[in-house]
Structure 1
Amino acid sequence: MIESDSSPEPDGTADIPDTDATDTEQAPDEERRHPALLATAIALPVALLIGIVVAAVLIDRKPVLGPLALGPVPAPNAESAECADLLTALPEKLGDYTRAELVEPVPAGTAAWQIDEAEPVVLRCGLDRPGEFDAAAALQVVDGVQWFEVSGAAEGIAASTWFAVDRPVYVALTVPNGSGPSPLQEVSAALTEALPQQQIDPAPVSGN
């Protein structure tokens, strides 16, 4: 059951268009939203504007699902015991998404799930506190876990990154628009099983 403090759950209204990367006649906006380009955008400096980089870079996109390559991001606690416990507790499926094989070298503290013709769901454990997570931030409670959402809409990215902020380590889940509630619900269940809840630690509101 999802309870909301103030920010709405992703409703899937911004689906990723089905485009062909080989079509040189594409308009720039369409080309920007091709799945591989979208994933690269999440990985590169655009995400620095929201205080944290959460990469989900595809090595290739084919009709048949294959291994995924994830770009490295700063995650000082990725090799912690807490992240190891969480990775062990993660399910093989998140709704229709299936656990993906990752290309070596696999960044510590990461997992991903994939489905045909869509961007993957990517989890990263052990990140720094999100730059925009302050005492005024709106949180959403999903099955007992407090999440802080950073939407990619302003940068033209059809995905949101959700940060679990009430556990011993920060955990980020990048979810494409249109994925439904299952990814957040299933990962929340794994977090509840693997990691104890603790008081949130937001940054002070700017100017205070």
Structure 2
Amino acid sequence: MRANNSPQFNRTPIFIALGLALLLVLGVLGGARWVAGQSSQGPVQMAELPGGNADHPACAPLLEELPEEVAGFQRAEVAEPAPAGAAAWVAGEADELTLRCGVDLPFQYTALSETTEVDGTEWLHVVDPSTGDALQTWYTVNRSPAVAVTVYQIDPETSDAGAAPAEDLAEAMATLPEERQEPNPAPLAGLESAADANARCGDLMGNLPESFGTDPEYRRISTADTGLPADTTAAWGAPGVEPVVLRCGVTPPENYEVGIRLNQINEIPWFEDTTLANGTTSSTWFALGRDTDIAVSVPQASGNSAVVTLGDAIAEHTGEQ
């Protein structure tokens, strides 16, 4: 094992940015979160969310078709004033499942997102990175208006209720018109390619790992039809979390200035751009000191594994500047 006396990740700025970035996405999650004691003692409290399309006429027929039981959760009353387009189910003392019709899709829904089709409805699965499996949301991406189903379980491993609501909701979802929602641009799609990207990146692109990390384990996914340059882009995905994306041969980072703090990880000095997009936990890391600039979009869920593993490949398969 190589000794590494380099500074570790400076997490303070990314935690600050993460807190701001999660506000939009976790609006749905937070609005559905359990309020202590309410599940077993009275109606479920659900906050009104800004924006969205909860008053859409198609939401009323959906609510009428909702079943009494979903994934082991039993239908519950929503406390007044009940938000429009909302429904709730409970299990045990504290676990909750909530549904909201007419939500805005999260920024995690991009051209790289992997969705699951259940009886004609496609779902995007999003895990709250700050709670692990305790708080998860499924979004419909081919129905209009979009629906978010959030499951909150204090201890998912011991809960009597399940955490995969799509099958039980299939009949109700069929009441909504089919309409594919437009995904957001893929991570790093806004970066420009350097003029000599293909010539300098071939060795690296041919020697990138097929997988890395544990809990979650990221595996190589296709970047076809994403608008990203095929020969100089690679991506890895894991269930419920944002992908890791690498682009080789990009133009220098706009926010980098001489003298700015870098993170030395093994052989690679990294510049971390913590200017996060709204609703995403990812930041962009630029590998510097090579004969071409390389950008990696790194979500919080990946921990150190993405930068360490990909950094080692970059050091071995690109030249020094």
Q: Is the counterpart of residue 147 in structure 1 residue 102 in structure 2?
A: no
C-alpha change, 1:98 and 1:159, in structure 2 (3 Å) is: same
Which of 66, 81, 84 is the matching residue for 2:60? Answer: 84
CA distance in 1 between counterparts of 2:83 and 2:108 reads 24
Per-residue deviation, 1:57 = 4.1
Question: Letter of the aligned partner of 1:190 in structure 2?
Answer: A
Identity, % of aligned positions:
35
CA distance in 2 between counterparts of 1:48 and 1:203 reads 17
CA distance in 1 between counterparts of 2:27 and 2:40 reads 31
DSSP 3-state at the match of 2:137: strand
C-alpha change, 1:71 and 1:187, in structure 2 (3 Å) is: same
CA distance in 1 between counterparts of 2:54 and 2:20 reads 21
DSSP 3-state at the match of 1:146: strand
Match of 1:130 in 2: 106
CA distance in 2 between counterparts of 1:69 and 1:181 reads 20
Per-residue deviation, 1:113 = 0.3
- The root-mean-square deviation of aligned C-alpha atoms, in Å, is 2.5
Which of 144, 152, 161 is the matching residue for 2:137? Answer: 161
Contact 2:38 2:45 (8 Å CA) reproduced: no
Per-residue deviation, 1:98 = 1.4
CA distance in 2 between counterparts of 1:62 and 1:159 reads 17
> TM-score if structure 1 supplies the norm length?
0.69
Per-residue deviation, 1:165 = 0.7
DSSP 3-state at the match of 2:77: coil
Question: Letter of the aligned partner of 1:162 in structure 2?
Answer: W
Match of 1:201 in 2: 182
C-alpha change, 1:50 and 1:78, in structure 2 (3 Å) is: closer
Match of 1:23 in 2: none
Deviations along 1:137-192, whole A, 9 cap, x unmatched? 1111122210011102x202512101001001110000234542662211122101
Q: In terms of Rg, which structure is larger?
A: 2
Per-residue deviation, 1:59 = 4.4
C-alpha change, 1:95 and 1:57, in structure 2 (3 Å) is: closer
DSSP 3-state at the match of 2:102: strand
